[in-house]
Structure 1
Amino acid sequence: MVPTDPAHTVAAEAGSSFSEHLSRHHPELLPSARRLGTAPAGSASAAAPQATTIVSLTYAGGVLMAGDRRATMGNMIASRHIRKVFPADSYSVLGIAGTAGLALDMIRLFQVELEHYEKIEGTPMSLDGKSNRLAAMVRQNLPLALQGLAVIPLFAGFDLERHTGRMFSYDVTGGRYEEYEHHSVGSGSVFARGALKKLWRPGLDQDEAVRIAVESLYDAADDDSATGGPDLVRQLWPVVYVVNSAGMREIPERELHQLAEDLVSRRSAAGREA
């Protein structure tokens, strides 16, 4: 009789979904387990920092995601340094808009979910599988979303089966929608999307895509007070990730610094000419 490996037995019992394992054994640890009692609708959201604007766009060979650095609490700036775009795994990234605390918990749980699946199954989850798992997490947060604590993610990655970059948006009910060319979420998304429509074109190279992302966030910050633009005084720049067949990579701050300075210089010159 072949002896059973205890570690393998525990892993098999846990299954490939870490969040399902938590829901069975420690449901109180899930972000969606938080309860607000009888708090009036909307009162919690006014007291919680809100993360805003995320943009994503495809380019030749991959996909890009970028987010500004500002979080607001009502009409106050809660933070100028928040990061809203994170690696999910080696070939995907995740951006968040909405209630910052819940969103960060969701990101950490999603990262563990993907890592756990790969360890149990011995292979990475497909991009469609990742996007569906994220939809289930958003759906679990619906009771809190109805009380004003919504989390709206934007997910993007490189599909190793189709050899292309893809992106997905969500609604508060967990609805998942594949987006094409470009997309934006958050309070400044309307203004960012307008810039993306004018600047995006098929066949962009990576450098052009990064420049367009920075410029679209700059335009969003120009009209939306909850979106923070490049801050030359505090040396704060957007967080930008690119994902392609080589994996995900964060764009260094020195490159974003130069892009922001060039953008401000061009806009200033255009203003003087006008």
Structure 2
Amino acid sequence: MVELPAGPSFLEYLVRERPDLLPSGALPEGVPAGVPHATTIVSLAFEGGVVVAGDRRATIGNVIASRHIEKVFPTDRYSVVGIAGSAGIAMDIARLFQVELEHYEKIEGTLLSLDGKANRLASMVRGNLGMAMQGMAAVPLFAGYDELRGTGRLFSFDVTGGRYEEREHHSIGSGSMFARGALKKLWKPGLAREDGVRVAVEALFDAADDDSATGGPDPLRQLWPVVYAVDAGGATRVDDGVLAEISAAIIRQRSIAGREA
């Protein structure tokens, strides 16, 4: 007979009963060769919510390992996580975090507060510190709608599990420096949801322009970033058709600017 978790934390149950199933316990000592890395995630606040977007490229060194990877995941009805770093560990952390929040809701009969979610995620990142010190780091960017405050909030983390609230926008991953430059120029207070999505896509465009590990929107293959908007209505994935229109408009605008220059 399988013993069920006694408390609201599924993570604590795994630590106690099956540590081998944790992301940090699933890999041997040392850094495996040829591990794909997920790259750039951007997030920004808009009026009443937040946008989180990730490119679709994973790399092994200077080789493109995948053009289809998804790095942004809904964790419950009102929150989303994007993760950069070692792709396998990143995805395991995201999936485990989803289960952790679902388990808490089933046991307690209510959603964990947004601050509580961010704290749980910080503890999971801290649990991977041993692998991070061996070069297998996975760092999240967490965002959600805070029902108590009636607004969207954004949290960044470091590999030790340090948690930091970002007030306007943030980016992580190999292309983050270039994405942040775009966010600083394009973001402004009170953005509409649609404008927030466009700014996120433009930031990924700029990151892909200067960082070979970041994949921009790809009209040839019909590949678009994974973009989620989170507000009082919940977490919603932006439709690929909308992203295709936004990407086409950005390409037209930049083509005209290039010809005029």
Distance in 2 between the 1:263 and 1:248 partners?
Answer: 25
Aligned partner (choices 12, 16, 34) of residue 8 of structure 2: 16
Aligned to 2:94: 107
Letter matched to residue 204 of structure 2: L
Letter matched to residue 15 of structure 2: S
Distance in 2 between the 1:29 and 1:267 partners?
Answer: 47
1:236 aligns with 2:223: yes
Distance in 2 between the 1:212 and 1:35 partners?
Answer: 38
The percent identity for this pair of structures is 65
Letter matched to residue 215 of structure 2: G
CA displacement, residues 117-171 of structure 1 (integer Å, 9 cap, x when unaligned): 0000111000000000000000000000000000010000000111110010000
Correspondence 1:76-87 to 2 at 5 A: 76-87=63-74
Aligned to 1:267: 254
Aligned to 2:214: 227
Q: What's the offset of the Cα at 1:77?
A: 0.1
If the length of structure 2 is used for normalisation, what is the TM-score? 0.97
1:199 aligns with 2:186: yes
The 3-state SS of whatever aligns with 1:14 is coil
Q: Highest CA radius of gyration, 1 or 2? A: 1
If the length of structure 1 is used for normalisation, what is the TM-score? 0.93
The 3-state SS of whatever aligns with 1:47 is coil
Aligned partner (choices 114, 121, 135) of residue 148 of structure 1: 135
Aligned partner (choices 49, 57, 66) of residue 53 of structure 2: 66
1:26 aligns with 2:18: yes
Letter matched to residue 32 of structure 1: S
Letter matched to residue 195 of structure 1: A
Distance in 1 between the 2:50 and 2:98 partners?
Answer: 19
4+ runs deviating over 2 angstroms: 34-37
Distance in 1 between the 2:165 and 2:226 partners?
Answer: 22
Unaligned regions of 5+ residues in structure 2, if any? none
Q: What's the offset of the Cα at 1:34?
A: 3.0
Distance in 1 between the 2:27 and 2:220 partners?
Answer: 40
Aligned partner (choices 102, 116, 120) of residue 107 of structure 2: 120
Aligned residues: CA RMSD: 1.3
Distance in 2 between the 1:180 and 1:29 partners?
Answer: 35
CA displacement, residues 41-94 of structure 1 (integer Å, 9 cap, x when unaligned): xx53x5100001000000001111000000000000000000010100000000
Q: What's the offset of the Cα at 1:234?
A: 0.2
Aligned to 1:6: none
Aligned to 1:137: 124
Unaligned regions of 5+ residues in structure 1, if any? 1-9
